[in-house]
Amino acid sequence: MKWIPALSKRTMFTYFILFFLLYLFYVLNTCLVDERKYTFKLFSLKRLSTYKSVSRRFAALLGFSHRRTYMRLRQPNMVPTKRLPDALVIGVKKCGTRALLEFLRLHPDVRAAGSEVHFFDKFYHKGFEWYRDKMPPTLEGQITMEKTPSYWVTRSAPRRVYAMNPSVKLLVVVRDPVTRAISDYTQSASKRPSLPRFEDLALVNSTVGWGGVWSVVDASWPPVRLGIYARPLRRWLRRFPRSRILLISGERLVVDPAFEMARVQDFLGLKLVITEKHFYFNSTKGFPCLLKSESRPTPHCLGKTKGRSHPHIDPVAIERLREFYRPYNEKFYELSGTNFEWP
């Protein structure tokens, strides 16, 4: 047996490479053989699909599979599907939430529920499938939205929203709480003409009719209580980081809607589509209106219920309310990281 030469490691490695290349050549040729006739196919442009198949089989041999990804890129899902919301407008009432949603509807990648669903405050017991059914159909890449301002003050809403989606984006519109309270009262008074004066409801023991002065602000009256923004914000921040909550200035939404909508589109990860070309200021209503949209090519405003004229409020009552809100506003600025500079 001395005639058998010893094989070095280098020789063994060379043999291994040669055998591996021969094996690959065999596999490739097997892929090109017509198994019924056992004849090699001719190379031609008409049979490029054959070589694509070969490349996929060769990739599979090496442990790679790109067929599913390839098909997904070539054939995206173009069937509208109802999905749970990616973003919510959670408040605040009478701060401009309706205007925000109508402005967002101008964007082709935003689809919103037609009315306030009240799922997280009134109908949570119906379940997420019921909630999903209330959403509009959306295509892949579009954002599903819903607006219900009462979520802002519903104590269980942060926990429930978090259970739906911890990554959901939250939009909150705020404005000067004194102006918000007056707007809230104006809406109620338009439905109930017999409602007492704003001053008599906002302040306890009002005796101004007899030449006296008001005592303290009634913090239990809902239009006043809703203006204490720090309390609800603290609850939402226990569940969601500040980066998931966008606070929108209701005042700037009126005077410069394009600026605020640019912030909103950036927050939602949308292409900047809604710009100043979509707005004009209606001096009669004192509110921005829309020049164009996907559904309406002609100028239009939000409706007669928006931009109501506020009743005259005694300056003493307004100043008392501003004093009341000042410490709460400072706390809100601290929690939100934004100074809205309300009087």
Q: pLDDT by residue (tens digit) across 191-207? A: 999 999 999 999 987 55
- Pair 202, 221: CB distance under 8 Å: yes
End-to-end Cα separation, the chain, in angstroms? 105
CA separation, residue 337 to residues 63, 93, 230, 259, 288 (Å): 51, 21, 12, 19, 27
Both 68 and 187 in one domain: the answer is no
Both 36 and 108 in one domain: the answer is no
Both 285 and 310 in one domain: the answer is yes
Report which of 285, 283, 341, 289 is spatially closest to residue 310, judged by C-alpha positions.
285
Alpha helices per DSSP H over the chain:
9-32, 48-61, 67-74, 97-104, 128-133, 157-164, 177-191, 198-202, 222-225, 230-239, 250-255, 257-267, 315-336
Which residue in the list 93, 94, 147, 169 is annotated as catalytic?
A: 94
- Domain boundary, last residue among 62, 78, 94: 78
Domain count for the chain, please give it: 2
Regions in the chain scoring below 70 on pLDDT: 1-7, 24-77, 206-214, 283-287, 292-300, 302-308
In this structure, is residue 315 part of a structural domain? Answer: yes
Q: What tokens were used for 79?
A: 């069937």
94 contact partners, CB below 8 Å, separation of at least 6? 180, 183, 184, 187, 226
In this structure, is residue 294 part of a structural domain? Answer: yes
In this structure, is residue 6 part of a structural domain? Answer: no
Whether a cis peptide bond, with omega within 30° of 0, leads into 54 is no
pLDDT at position 306 is 57
Both 19 and 97 in one domain: the answer is no
Both 186 and 283 in one domain: the answer is yes
Q: Which residues are annotated as a binding site for 3'-phosphoadenylyl sulfate?
A: 94-98, 175, 183, 306-310
pLDDT at position 18 is 82
Both 85 and 214 in one domain: the answer is yes
pLDDT at position 8 is 75
170 contact partners, CB below 8 Å, separation of at least 6? 87, 88, 90, 161, 236, 240, 244, 245, 246
Q: Which residues are annotated as a binding site?
A: 94-98, 175, 183, 306-310
Its domain, for residue 195, covers 81-336
pLDDT at position 49 is 45
What tens digit of pLDDT does each residue of 14-26 get? 878 887 777 766 6
Both 216 and 255 in one domain: the answer is yes
Both 201 and 263 in one domain: the answer is yes
pLDDT at position 294 is 55
Both 251 and 237 in one domain: the answer is yes
- Domain boundary, last residue among 53, 78, 103: 78
In this structure, is residue 7 part of a structural domain? Answer: no
What tens digit of pLDDT does each residue of 266-294 get? 999 999 999 989 887 776 666 678 876 55
Round to whole Å and give the CA distance between 126 and 1: 86
Both 190 and 45 in one domain: the answer is no
Round to whole Å and give the CA distance between 53 and 59: 10
282 contact partners, CB below 8 Å, separation of at least 6? 288, 289, 301, 307
In this structure, is residue 1 part of a structural domain? Answer: no
Both 17 and 132 in one domain: the answer is no
In this structure, is residue 2 part of a structural domain? Answer: no
pTM higher than the cut 0.85: no
In this structure, is residue 189 part of a structural domain? Answer: yes
Residue 217's DSSP bridge partners are 203
Is 94 annotated as catalytic? yes
Both 105 and 237 in one domain: the answer is yes
3-state SS assignment for residue 66: coil
